[in-house]
Amino acid sequence: MLTGDASYIKKMNRSLILSKIIELHLISRADLAKITGLNKATVSVQVSDLLSEELIIETQQEHKNLGRRPIMLSINPQAGFVLGIDLDKKSITFNLSTMNGAPFQTNTIELQSSDYDIILNLLIKHIEDYKHQCAHTRYGLAEVVIGIHGIVNNDEMIYFVPQHRWRNKNLKEDLMNEIGINVSIENNANLCSLSEKVYKHHQSGNLLSISLYSGIGLGIMVNGESLKGCHGYAGEIGHMIIVPDGKPCSCGNLGCWEQYASETSFYKQLSKNNHIPDFRNGAIKHLLLEQEQNIDHLMDQYIKYLSIGLNNIINLYNPEILVVNSELLLMVPNAVSKIKRHLTSTISHYCELLVSELGNSACIMGACALAIKNFLKVSELSLTYNEKKTCLSY
Protein backbone atom coordinates (compact mmCIF):
# COMPACT_ATOMS: atom_id res chain seq x y z
CA MET A 1 0.00 0.00 0.00
CA LEU A 2 1.31 3.47 -0.93
CA THR A 3 1.57 5.92 1.94
CA GLY A 4 3.00 9.41 2.27
CA ASP A 5 3.22 12.42 4.55
CA ALA A 6 1.54 15.76 3.88
CA SER A 7 4.59 17.09 2.03
CA TYR A 8 4.64 14.10 -0.34
CA ILE A 9 0.91 14.36 -1.05
CA LYS A 10 1.31 18.08 -1.75
CA LYS A 11 4.03 17.31 -4.31
CA MET A 12 1.80 14.71 -5.96
CA ASN A 13 -1.09 17.18 -6.21
CA ARG A 14 1.21 19.86 -7.63
CA SER A 15 2.52 17.43 -10.25
CA LEU A 16 -1.01 16.43 -11.25
CA ILE A 17 -2.23 20.02 -11.55
CA LEU A 18 0.77 21.15 -13.59
CA SER A 19 0.43 18.14 -15.90
CA LYS A 20 -3.20 18.98 -16.66
CA ILE A 21 -2.47 22.68 -17.24
CA ILE A 22 0.26 21.73 -19.74
CA GLU A 23 -1.91 19.12 -21.46
CA LEU A 24 -5.04 21.28 -21.81
CA HIS A 25 -3.25 24.61 -22.49
CA LEU A 26 -6.08 26.68 -20.93
CA ILE A 27 -8.18 25.53 -17.99
CA SER A 28 -10.16 27.10 -15.15
CA ARG A 29 -9.77 26.28 -11.46
CA ALA A 30 -13.23 24.70 -11.43
CA ASP A 31 -12.39 22.41 -14.35
CA LEU A 32 -9.08 21.50 -12.76
CA ALA A 33 -10.93 20.31 -9.68
CA LYS A 34 -13.32 18.22 -11.80
CA ILE A 35 -10.61 16.63 -13.94
CA THR A 36 -8.14 15.88 -11.14
CA GLY A 37 -10.68 14.90 -8.49
CA LEU A 38 -9.05 17.30 -6.04
CA ASN A 39 -11.24 19.57 -3.93
CA LYS A 40 -11.48 23.27 -4.81
CA ALA A 41 -9.54 24.39 -1.74
CA THR A 42 -6.56 22.17 -2.66
CA VAL A 43 -6.60 23.42 -6.25
CA SER A 44 -6.80 27.04 -5.05
CA VAL A 45 -3.78 26.67 -2.74
CA GLN A 46 -1.69 24.94 -5.39
CA VAL A 47 -2.61 27.46 -8.08
CA SER A 48 -1.74 30.32 -5.74
CA ASP A 49 1.72 28.83 -5.20
CA LEU A 50 2.29 28.29 -8.92
CA LEU A 51 1.23 31.86 -9.69
CA SER A 52 3.61 33.25 -7.06
CA GLU A 53 6.41 31.18 -8.61
CA GLU A 54 5.47 32.60 -12.05
CA LEU A 55 5.20 29.11 -13.55
CA ILE A 56 1.62 29.74 -14.62
CA ILE A 57 -0.39 32.82 -15.56
CA GLU A 58 -4.03 33.88 -15.50
CA THR A 59 -5.99 35.17 -18.49
CA GLN A 60 -9.63 36.17 -18.72
CA GLN A 61 -11.40 34.32 -21.49
CA GLU A 62 -13.64 36.35 -23.75
CA HIS A 63 -17.17 35.13 -24.32
CA LYS A 64 -20.45 36.67 -25.40
CA ASN A 65 -22.65 35.23 -22.67
CA LEU A 66 -23.85 37.28 -19.74
CA GLY A 67 -22.10 36.88 -16.43
CA ARG A 68 -18.54 36.81 -15.23
CA ARG A 69 -15.87 35.77 -17.71
CA PRO A 70 -13.94 32.69 -16.54
CA ILE A 71 -10.33 33.10 -15.45
CA MET A 72 -8.15 30.60 -17.27
CA LEU A 73 -4.80 29.16 -16.23
CA SER A 74 -1.90 28.33 -18.55
CA ILE A 75 1.84 27.77 -18.44
CA ASN A 76 3.76 31.05 -18.37
CA PRO A 77 5.57 31.25 -21.74
CA GLN A 78 8.11 33.61 -20.13
CA ALA A 79 8.89 31.31 -17.20
CA GLY A 80 12.03 29.96 -18.85
CA PHE A 81 13.35 27.47 -21.35
CA VAL A 82 14.76 23.95 -21.56
CA LEU A 83 17.40 22.72 -23.98
CA GLY A 84 17.43 19.33 -25.69
CA ILE A 85 20.62 18.19 -27.40
CA ASP A 86 21.12 15.33 -29.86
CA LEU A 87 24.81 14.39 -29.89
CA ASP A 88 25.23 12.29 -33.03
CA LYS A 89 28.22 11.04 -35.02
CA LYS A 90 28.67 13.95 -37.43
CA SER A 91 26.62 16.72 -35.85
CA ILE A 92 25.13 18.18 -32.69
CA THR A 93 21.56 19.50 -32.80
CA PHE A 94 20.25 21.91 -30.16
CA ASN A 95 16.54 22.50 -29.59
CA LEU A 96 15.42 25.31 -27.29
CA SER A 97 11.89 24.74 -26.04
CA THR A 98 9.38 26.59 -23.89
CA MET A 99 7.98 24.99 -20.74
CA ASN A 100 4.89 23.80 -22.62
CA GLY A 101 6.98 21.93 -25.17
CA ALA A 102 6.75 24.43 -28.02
CA PRO A 103 9.99 24.41 -30.08
CA PHE A 104 11.50 27.89 -30.05
CA GLN A 105 14.80 27.56 -31.89
CA THR A 106 16.83 24.76 -33.43
CA ASN A 107 20.52 24.94 -34.33
CA THR A 108 22.75 22.29 -35.88
CA ILE A 109 26.56 22.33 -35.91
CA GLU A 110 28.70 19.92 -37.91
CA LEU A 111 31.39 17.95 -36.09
CA GLN A 112 34.89 17.84 -37.50
CA SER A 113 36.32 15.66 -34.74
CA SER A 114 35.40 12.87 -32.32
CA ASP A 115 37.85 14.11 -29.69
CA TYR A 116 36.02 14.24 -26.34
CA ASP A 117 37.59 17.50 -25.12
CA ILE A 118 36.86 19.30 -28.40
CA ILE A 119 33.19 18.26 -28.31
CA LEU A 120 32.94 19.07 -24.60
CA ASN A 121 34.18 22.62 -25.26
CA LEU A 122 31.73 22.98 -28.16
CA LEU A 123 28.86 21.95 -25.88
CA ILE A 124 29.97 24.38 -23.16
CA LYS A 125 30.21 27.26 -25.63
CA HIS A 126 26.78 26.73 -27.15
CA ILE A 127 25.01 26.03 -23.86
CA GLU A 128 26.52 29.23 -22.45
CA ASP A 129 25.18 31.11 -25.49
CA TYR A 130 21.68 29.72 -24.84
CA LYS A 131 22.02 30.54 -21.14
CA HIS A 132 22.73 34.17 -22.01
CA GLN A 133 19.85 34.22 -24.53
CA CYS A 134 17.37 33.02 -21.88
CA ALA A 135 18.62 35.23 -19.04
CA HIS A 136 15.69 37.66 -19.30
CA THR A 137 13.17 35.05 -18.11
CA ARG A 138 12.37 34.11 -14.50
CA TYR A 139 14.11 30.72 -14.58
CA GLY A 140 16.40 31.32 -17.57
CA LEU A 141 17.77 28.16 -19.11
CA ALA A 142 16.33 25.80 -16.53
CA GLU A 143 17.40 22.32 -17.64
CA VAL A 144 19.55 20.57 -20.26
CA VAL A 145 19.15 16.98 -21.51
CA ILE A 146 21.61 15.35 -23.92
CA GLY A 147 20.76 12.32 -26.04
CA ILE A 148 23.73 9.96 -26.53
CA HIS A 149 23.93 7.44 -29.39
CA GLY A 150 25.58 4.90 -27.15
CA ILE A 151 25.42 3.14 -23.79
CA VAL A 152 24.52 5.23 -20.73
CA ASN A 153 24.22 3.70 -17.27
CA ASN A 154 21.73 4.49 -14.52
CA ASP A 155 24.17 7.01 -12.99
CA GLU A 156 24.20 8.86 -16.34
CA MET A 157 27.81 7.92 -17.01
CA ILE A 158 28.65 7.26 -20.66
CA TYR A 159 29.91 3.69 -20.81
CA PHE A 160 30.56 3.54 -24.55
CA VAL A 161 29.82 5.59 -27.67
CA PRO A 162 30.85 3.45 -30.67
CA GLN A 163 30.65 6.30 -33.19
CA HIS A 164 33.17 8.42 -31.25
CA ARG A 165 34.99 5.53 -29.52
CA TRP A 166 34.37 7.12 -26.11
CA ARG A 167 34.57 4.95 -23.01
CA ASN A 168 33.70 5.81 -19.39
CA LYS A 169 33.09 9.55 -19.84
CA ASN A 170 31.36 11.65 -17.17
CA LEU A 171 29.92 14.26 -19.53
CA LYS A 172 27.26 15.25 -17.00
CA GLU A 173 29.78 16.26 -14.34
CA ASP A 174 32.19 17.86 -16.82
CA LEU A 175 29.42 20.11 -18.13
CA MET A 176 27.81 20.99 -14.81
CA ASN A 177 31.18 22.04 -13.40
CA GLU A 178 31.42 24.64 -16.17
CA ILE A 179 27.87 25.88 -16.86
CA GLY A 180 26.10 25.73 -13.48
CA ILE A 181 22.89 24.26 -14.93
CA ASN A 182 21.41 20.84 -14.21
CA VAL A 183 22.32 18.43 -17.04
CA SER A 184 20.91 14.96 -17.67
CA ILE A 185 22.44 12.35 -19.98
CA GLU A 186 20.21 9.72 -21.61
CA ASN A 187 20.41 7.08 -24.32
CA ASN A 188 18.86 8.31 -27.58
CA ALA A 189 16.55 5.29 -28.00
CA ASN A 190 15.04 5.90 -24.55
CA LEU A 191 14.41 9.52 -25.51
CA CYS A 192 12.77 8.41 -28.77
CA SER A 193 10.32 6.18 -26.90
CA LEU A 194 9.56 9.00 -24.46
CA SER A 195 8.85 11.42 -27.32
CA GLU A 196 6.46 8.94 -28.95
CA LYS A 197 4.48 8.67 -25.73
CA VAL A 198 4.57 12.38 -24.84
CA TYR A 199 3.83 13.79 -28.30
CA LYS A 200 1.88 11.09 -30.13
CA HIS A 201 0.62 8.16 -28.05
CA HIS A 202 -0.45 9.74 -24.76
CA GLN A 203 -2.60 6.85 -23.56
CA SER A 204 -0.18 4.02 -24.36
CA GLY A 205 1.38 2.39 -21.32
CA ASN A 206 3.32 -0.30 -23.20
CA LEU A 207 5.19 1.20 -26.13
CA LEU A 208 8.36 0.19 -27.95
CA SER A 209 10.33 2.55 -30.20
CA ILE A 210 13.01 1.12 -32.50
CA SER A 211 15.50 3.51 -34.11
CA LEU A 212 17.17 2.24 -37.28
CA TYR A 213 19.79 4.86 -38.08
CA SER A 214 23.54 4.22 -37.73
CA GLY A 215 22.81 1.29 -35.44
CA ILE A 216 19.60 -0.06 -33.92
CA GLY A 217 18.34 1.05 -30.51
CA LEU A 218 15.23 0.04 -28.58
CA GLY A 219 13.39 2.33 -26.18
CA ILE A 220 11.05 0.42 -23.88
CA MET A 221 8.04 1.89 -22.08
CA VAL A 222 6.29 -0.51 -19.68
CA ASN A 223 3.30 0.73 -17.68
CA GLY A 224 4.24 4.24 -18.74
CA GLU A 225 7.81 4.07 -17.40
CA SER A 226 11.14 3.54 -19.16
CA LEU A 227 12.58 0.06 -18.69
CA LYS A 228 16.38 0.37 -18.50
CA GLY A 229 17.54 -2.83 -16.84
CA CYS A 230 19.84 -3.45 -13.87
CA HIS A 231 22.64 -1.10 -14.97
CA GLY A 232 20.76 1.01 -17.52
CA TYR A 233 21.93 -0.93 -20.56
CA ALA A 234 18.62 -2.49 -21.67
CA GLY A 235 17.58 -1.91 -25.27
CA GLU A 236 20.84 -2.69 -27.10
CA ILE A 237 18.73 -4.83 -29.41
CA GLY A 238 20.90 -4.13 -32.45
CA HIS A 239 23.34 -6.70 -31.13
CA MET A 240 20.79 -9.51 -31.09
CA ILE A 241 22.23 -12.19 -33.37
CA ILE A 242 19.89 -13.08 -36.24
CA VAL A 243 22.42 -14.73 -38.60
CA PRO A 244 24.77 -17.20 -36.86
CA ASP A 245 28.35 -16.73 -38.10
CA GLY A 246 27.15 -13.77 -40.17
CA LYS A 247 28.69 -10.36 -40.81
CA PRO A 248 31.22 -9.17 -38.22
CA CYS A 249 30.02 -6.43 -35.85
CA SER A 250 32.00 -3.80 -33.92
CA CYS A 251 30.70 -5.35 -30.69
CA GLY A 252 32.80 -8.48 -31.35
CA ASN A 253 29.98 -10.81 -32.36
CA LEU A 254 28.97 -12.11 -35.79
CA GLY A 255 25.55 -11.68 -37.42
CA CYS A 256 24.14 -8.85 -35.27
CA TRP A 257 20.77 -7.45 -36.33
CA GLU A 258 22.12 -3.96 -37.02
CA GLN A 259 24.48 -5.38 -39.64
CA TYR A 260 21.39 -6.31 -41.66
CA ALA A 261 18.57 -3.94 -40.66
CA SER A 262 20.06 -0.56 -39.74
CA GLU A 263 19.80 2.20 -42.34
CA THR A 264 23.59 2.37 -42.48
CA SER A 265 23.78 -1.31 -43.46
CA PHE A 266 21.25 -0.69 -46.25
CA TYR A 267 23.14 2.33 -47.59
CA LYS A 268 26.46 0.46 -47.54
CA GLN A 269 25.04 -2.43 -49.52
CA LEU A 270 23.31 -0.11 -51.98
CA SER A 271 26.53 1.86 -52.51
CA LYS A 272 28.46 -1.37 -53.03
CA ASN A 273 25.94 -2.71 -55.56
CA ASN A 274 25.92 0.53 -57.57
CA HIS A 275 29.62 1.42 -57.18
CA ILE A 276 28.64 4.81 -55.73
CA PRO A 277 30.43 5.88 -52.53
CA ASP A 278 27.64 7.87 -50.88
CA PHE A 279 23.88 7.58 -51.40
CA ARG A 280 21.68 10.47 -50.26
CA ASN A 281 17.98 10.19 -49.42
CA GLY A 282 17.01 12.05 -52.57
CA ALA A 283 18.82 9.54 -54.79
CA ILE A 284 17.30 6.61 -52.92
CA LYS A 285 13.82 8.07 -53.20
CA HIS A 286 14.33 8.52 -56.95
CA LEU A 287 15.38 4.87 -57.32
CA LEU A 288 12.37 3.73 -55.30
CA LEU A 289 9.98 5.81 -57.41
CA GLU A 290 11.58 4.48 -60.58
CA GLN A 291 11.15 0.95 -59.18
CA GLU A 292 14.70 0.00 -60.03
CA GLN A 293 15.02 -3.77 -59.83
CA ASN A 294 18.27 -3.75 -57.87
CA ILE A 295 16.92 -1.51 -55.11
CA ASP A 296 13.63 -3.42 -54.97
CA HIS A 297 15.47 -6.68 -54.34
CA LEU A 298 17.71 -5.07 -51.72
CA MET A 299 14.71 -3.47 -50.01
CA ASP A 300 12.92 -6.83 -49.90
CA GLN A 301 15.96 -8.36 -48.20
CA TYR A 302 16.20 -5.42 -45.82
CA ILE A 303 12.54 -5.71 -44.77
CA LYS A 304 12.94 -9.48 -44.36
CA TYR A 305 15.82 -9.06 -41.90
CA LEU A 306 14.06 -6.16 -40.18
CA SER A 307 10.98 -8.34 -39.70
CA ILE A 308 12.99 -11.17 -38.14
CA GLY A 309 14.14 -8.84 -35.38
CA LEU A 310 10.71 -7.26 -34.95
CA ASN A 311 9.15 -10.70 -34.57
CA ASN A 312 11.60 -11.51 -31.77
CA ILE A 313 10.90 -8.20 -30.02
CA ILE A 314 7.12 -8.67 -30.26
CA ASN A 315 7.42 -12.10 -28.68
CA LEU A 316 9.62 -10.73 -25.89
CA TYR A 317 7.50 -7.70 -24.92
CA ASN A 318 3.96 -8.10 -26.30
CA PRO A 319 3.75 -4.34 -26.96
CA GLU A 320 0.61 -2.29 -27.34
CA ILE A 321 2.31 0.01 -29.86
CA LEU A 322 5.47 -0.77 -31.82
CA VAL A 323 6.96 2.33 -33.49
CA VAL A 324 9.75 1.97 -36.04
CA ASN A 325 11.74 5.18 -36.42
CA SER A 326 13.29 5.28 -39.88
CA GLU A 327 13.68 7.97 -42.53
CA LEU A 328 14.28 5.20 -45.06
CA LEU A 329 10.97 3.43 -44.40
CA LEU A 330 9.11 6.73 -44.73
CA MET A 331 10.21 6.70 -48.39
CA VAL A 332 9.02 3.14 -49.01
CA PRO A 333 5.41 2.83 -50.25
CA ASN A 334 3.33 0.52 -48.02
CA ALA A 335 6.32 -0.19 -45.76
CA VAL A 336 4.17 -1.29 -42.80
CA SER A 337 2.14 -3.70 -44.95
CA LYS A 338 5.34 -5.22 -46.32
CA ILE A 339 6.70 -5.73 -42.81
CA LYS A 340 3.43 -7.26 -41.58
CA ARG A 341 3.52 -9.88 -44.35
CA HIS A 342 6.58 -11.35 -42.60
CA LEU A 343 4.98 -11.30 -39.15
CA THR A 344 2.92 -14.44 -39.61
CA SER A 345 3.45 -16.22 -36.30
CA THR A 346 0.20 -17.16 -34.53
CA ILE A 347 1.73 -16.38 -31.14
CA SER A 348 3.09 -12.89 -31.90
CA HIS A 349 0.72 -10.28 -30.50
CA TYR A 350 0.77 -6.49 -30.72
CA CYS A 351 -1.95 -3.88 -31.19
CA GLU A 352 -0.38 -1.40 -33.59
CA LEU A 353 2.72 -1.25 -35.79
CA LEU A 354 3.67 2.02 -37.46
CA VAL A 355 6.53 4.11 -38.81
CA SER A 356 7.22 7.16 -36.65
CA GLU A 357 6.04 10.55 -37.85
CA LEU A 358 8.69 12.22 -35.69
CA GLY A 359 11.61 10.89 -37.74
CA ASN A 360 15.08 11.97 -36.72
CA SER A 361 13.58 14.71 -34.50
CA ALA A 362 12.36 12.09 -32.01
CA CYS A 363 15.54 12.05 -29.92
CA ILE A 364 15.77 15.79 -29.43
CA MET A 365 12.02 16.12 -28.80
CA GLY A 366 12.32 13.43 -26.15
CA ALA A 367 15.25 15.33 -24.63
CA CYS A 368 13.11 18.48 -24.32
CA ALA A 369 10.22 16.49 -22.84
CA LEU A 370 12.51 14.91 -20.23
CA ALA A 371 13.97 18.34 -19.40
CA ILE A 372 10.45 19.70 -18.77
CA LYS A 373 9.57 16.69 -16.62
CA ASN A 374 12.76 17.09 -14.61
CA PHE A 375 12.39 20.82 -14.01
CA LEU A 376 8.66 20.90 -13.26
CA LYS A 377 8.85 17.55 -11.39
CA VAL A 378 5.81 16.14 -13.19
CA SER A 379 5.34 12.40 -13.58
CA GLU A 380 2.97 12.59 -16.57
CA LEU A 381 3.42 14.81 -19.60
CA SER A 382 1.28 15.21 -22.72
CA LEU A 383 2.46 17.73 -25.30
CA THR A 384 1.27 18.79 -28.73
CA TYR A 385 3.44 17.92 -31.72
CA ASN A 386 4.31 21.13 -33.55
CA GLU A 387 6.87 21.22 -36.38
CA LYS A 388 7.07 25.01 -36.50
CA LYS A 389 10.39 26.36 -35.22
CA THR A 390 13.24 28.66 -36.13
CA CYS A 391 16.00 26.60 -37.76
CA LEU A 392 19.60 27.77 -37.88
CA SER A 393 22.68 25.91 -39.12
CA TYR A 394 26.35 26.69 -38.65
Q: What is the pLDDT at residue 64?
A: 58
- At 346, is the pLDDT very low, low, confident or very high (cuts 50, 70, 90)? confident
pLDDT at 26 over 80: yes
232 — pLDDT class (breaks 50, 70, 90)? confident
Q: Is the pLDDT of residue 3 over 60?
A: no
- pLDDT confidence of residue 92: 96
Q: What distance in Å separates the CA atoms of residue 373 and residue 19, rounded to the nearest whole number? A: 9
Please give the pLDDT value at position 281: 62
The CATH number of the structural domain formed by 81-192+361-393 is 3.30.420.40
pLDDT score of 329: 93
CA distance 246 to 260: 10
Section 95-113 average pLDDT: 93
DSSP 84-132: EEEE-SSEEEEEEEETTS-EEEEEEEE-S---HHHHHHHHHHHHHHHHH
**Is the pLDDT score of 241 beyond 50?**
yes
Say what percent of the chain tops pLDDT 70: 90
**Rounded mean pLDDT of 57-84?**
83
Per the model's pLDDT, the better-predicted residue between 280 and 92 turns out to be 92
CA 153 to chain centre: 17
What band does 390 get if pLDDT is binned at 50, 70 and 90? very low
Rounded CA-CA distance 96/368 in Å is 8
Nearest one of 356, 393, 383 to 97, comparing CA atoms: 383
- Mean of pLDDT over the chain: 89
Query: So what's the pLDDT on residue 205?
Result: 86
pTM: 0.89
> Taking the domains of the chain in order of start, what are their residue ranges?
6-75, 81-192+361-393, 200-358
Query: Any alpha helices (H) in the chain, and if so which ranges?
Result: 6-24, 29-36, 40-52, 116-133, 171-179, 188-195, 258-261, 263-274, 281-289, 293-317, 327-330, 335-340, 362-376
The model's pLDDT over 179-196, given as tens digits with 9 standing for 90+, comes to: 999 999 999 999 999 999
Question: What pLDDT shows up at residue 361?
Answer: 92
Residue 244 has pLDDT above 90, yes or no: yes
- The 10s digit of each residue's pLDDT in 113-159 is 999 999 999 999 999 999 999 999 999 999 999 999 989 999 999 99
The pLDDT assigned to 35 comes to 94
pLDDT-derived band at 394 (thresholds 50, 70, 90) equals: very low
Q: Domain 6-75 classified CATH 1.10.10.10?
A: yes
Q: Tell me whether domains 81-192+361-393 and 200-358 share a fold.
A: yes
pLDDT at 1: 46
Query: What's the pLDDT at 240?
Result: 95
pLDDT digits (tens, 9 = 90+) for 289-342: 666 667 888 899 999 999 999 999 999 999 999 999 999 999 888 999 999 999
Residue 21 burial class via C-beta count within 10 angstroms: exposed 0-12, middle 13-18, buried 19 and up: buried
How far apart are the C-alpha atoms of 175 and 141, rounded to whole Å? 14
Residue 121's CB is within 10 A of a number of other CB atoms, namely 12
CATH number of 200-358: 3.30.420.40
Q: Is pLDDT at 373 greater than 70 in this prediction? A: yes
Contact 325, 359 (CB under 8 A): yes
Residue 392: the pLDDT is 38
Asked whether the predicted pLDDT for residue 61 surpasses 80, the reply is no
